Amino acid sequence: MDIPLEERIIVALDLSSVEEAQAMVKRLEKKVRFYKVGLQLFLAGCYQMVDWLAERGCKIMLDLKLFDVPQTVALAVEQLRNRPVAFATVHGNEEILKAAVEAADDRLKILAVTVLTSLDQRDIEDLGFSCKVEDLVLSRAKRALQVGCHGIVSSGLEVARLREEVGYGLVAVTPGIRPVENRPVDDQKRVMGPKEAMAAGSDYLVIGRPIRNAEDPIVVVEKIQREIEEGLQERGNGER
């Protein structure tokens, strides 16, 4: 997959105001052209940030994790059809994912959320699942592929097995990325380094705090991009 280096990192703009997010983009946009707008920022400014990013030529992942009855999700996705959004995330069963895919246009790509990277084995058992995290991710990924989703959101820990069993038919967007020297204790439990995630088969890396909290975000971005290139080289002649 021919993805420009400046689009491999999707910077998570998990900030409390549009002004803060715009300031961060202005610092990074010479190196990064893909950004994630999540619940916090979307509720702070609705489409203001989405439209502003598009005007600057940036790509947008709208991470709202849509989850409701299929018809409601379909109607929500229809609201995005005329918006400059590249990826939209949907959480749910096969019927919900199918409804989202059918409601999207050719420009909008639906990403199926598998298992949140803030959940570990104990958490999914608490939620009533009796399988391993990896098995649950793979099962949901296979359903996403069957109903026509463009890709999935998955931790890097499951990507290698995903590639072995379903190949490169799905785009793999990987959050929970933590450089080795920057792994604070936070809400992310299933984490991986940038190089390792790319070598395993990830296509895009969603990264927030390691960049946002850095004294010099550009230095961090450049280091991660070097690791991405190393991971792609390690992947060798496989799909990119």
Is the distance from CB of 199 to CB of 234 less than 8 angstroms?
Answer: yes
Whole-Å CA distances, 89 to 80, 98, 189, 239: 12, 13, 20, 23
Three-state DSSP class for residue 52: helix
Catalytically active residues are 65
Q: Cα(136)–Cα(145) distance, rounded to whole angstroms?
A: 14
CA atoms in the 13 A half-sphere facing the CB of 223: 15
- The sign of the CA dihedral 6, 225, 188, 202 is positive
Q: Cα(230)–Cα(96) distance, rounded to whole angstroms?
A: 37
Pairing of strands 171-174, 9-12: unpaired
Tell me which long-range contacts 54-59 makes (C-beta under 8 A, separation of at least 24). Answer: 54/84, 56/25, 56/29, 57/33, 58/25, 58/29, 58/33, 58/34, 59/7, 59/33, 59/34, 59/35, 59/86
